[in-house]
Structure 1
Amino acid sequence: MSAAPSRRPPLAQEITEELRREIASGRWAVGSRIPPEPQLIDRLGVSRGTLREAVKALAHAGLLEVRRGDGTYVRSTSEMAGTARRAYREYGEEQVFEVRFALDAQAARLAARAADDDDLAALRALLARRRVAWAEGDAEGWIAADWDFHLKVAEASGNPLLHELYGTFGDVFHGVKMKQRLRDGFDACRAAGHEDLVRAIAARDEDTAAATVLDNLRYCTTWMH
């Protein structure tokens, strides 16, 4: 009995994957315009309809943005990042914070279970950088150090999916809205959710780790408007 012939995926699907690889590799940088349609048709050896179907699929996934009369631009490097960018545009800050409550609390619990000495050293170094930036009036430096700290907690959780998911929300959690929150009276160096969190992680205290993170997020919600 002869083997069943292998089935190739539809051509549009193959072209979609080829374009996705170009984006993921960084050859087409975020914010850049991809090569014009005639050039891609010639290079890929496909029809205009097939190419447009592939571009449409990637635009729907959030990787590309089609601008009428201007061309097609790279919006993000992965579907997950594309979803985060859509969240930044389409959802209110309260809804974003509700998601962050869940992600931060779980990252804190898992980090208290899995973090090693190198993770703890890195977290303490980031907090020191954060304090120096704030003392020097460097808002951009403070935002960067604060984000790197929380991203490191997610990495220390030992769950690579949680770390990747958290990382895609950088613009949402620490974008322009964060800078707008840094007004007179805002306590930018609270121990809750930071130094207290590191101590809880070092003590393997999952409940305290989650509680101090939630305490800090509740404080931040009072400065959202």
Structure 2
Amino acid sequence: MPLGSLRPSPLVEQATEHLREQITQGEWPVGTRLPGENALAKALGVGRSTVREALRALAGAGLVQARQGSGVFVIATAGAAEPAESWAARLRRAAITDVYEVRMIVETQAAVLAAGRRTEEDMAALEAALEARERGAEGDDAAFVDADIALHAAVVAAAGNPVLSDLFAEFAPALRGRLIDLVELLGLREHHRNPGHDTHAALVAAIREGDGTAAGGILQAELEQTLTHLHAKR
């Protein structure tokens, strides 16, 4: 069955469904290695980032598995009854714009709380995380994203709410891969190895000064800007 080019929107959902059909209809039996991202993108008429999102959705559904250095393989079909989807799986298959909207809500409010509750230990952790983000900028995209997430985790921790911290801890792994792709997709580090440094420094300063309005506003503006880029790329 030929894949065929997709309609303009929503591309990720369509790509996921087309690839799922290939598996469920026996075109790619269990154990089959899927074509590479470039081949799938060309066949579907979409970009590589859309293919990555679709493959993540299929992985979250338990149909495929990425094997480092080997590719993506079919590990199951949709013929059997599927178990209830876990929160982690739901996050993995969610559209990046949906993930980012939730991230914005959670982290903006966490920053407001952090400004009112931060301790000296929290501030030491935030200052260390800001410095680590600067050092991470000297590495590859993955190292930079890991350092960036660590700083945002420190902001959430400073809110002093263990439920928020647990939520972010489960949220972060699903976010990590998307952010690495995002840095590449938007070319965020092509002209500046440490994008957003001034913004993050201002965020830490606002929390130190106990200014929740400023802290929440800085973080929301940063995430909204990225979300705008994401919507434009869909």
- Aligned residue number for residue 133 of structure 1: 136
- Aligned residue number for residue 48 of structure 1: none
Moved more, 180-189 or 155-164: 180-189
Q: Does 1:196 align with 2:202?
A: yes
Partner residue of 1:169 out of 168, 171, 191 = 171
Partner residue of 1:105 out of 63, 88, 108 = 108
Name the larger-Rg structure. 1
- Aligned residue number for residue 91 of structure 2: 87
CA distance in 2, matches of 1:102, 1:192: 22
- Aligned residue number for residue 161 of structure 2: 159
- Structure 2 gaps of 5+ residues are 1-61, 64-74, 78-83
- Aligned residue number for residue 11 of structure 1: none
> 4+ residue stretches of structure 1 with deviation over 6 A?
none
CA distance in 2, matches of 1:150, 1:185: 18
CA distance in 2, matches of 1:178, 1:159: 25
Partner residue of 1:216 out of 207, 219, 222 = 222
Tell me how far 1:192 sits from its aligned partner. 5.8
Tell me the TM-score normalised to structure 1 length: 0.59
Tell me the TM-score normalised to structure 2 length: 0.57
CA change 1:192–1:169 in 2 (3 A) is farther
- Structure 1 gaps of 5+ residues are 1-64, 70-78
- Code of the aligned partner of 1:180: D
CA change 1:88–1:68 in 2 (3 A) is closer
Count of equivalent residues: 150
Aligned-pair identity in percent equals 30
Residue deviations 1:162-213 (CA, integer Å, cap 9, x gap): 11011110122222x2112224345643146521111111111110010000
- Aligned residue number for residue 182 of structure 1: 183
Residue deviations 1:8-36 (CA, integer Å, cap 9, x gap): xxxxxxxxxxxxxxxxxxxxxxxxxxxxx
- Code of the aligned partner of 1:127: L
CA change 1:106–1:93 in 2 (3 A) is same
RMSD of aligned alpha carbons: 2.8
CA change 1:185–1:162 in 2 (3 A) is closer
CA contact (8 A) 1:84 1:172 kept: yes
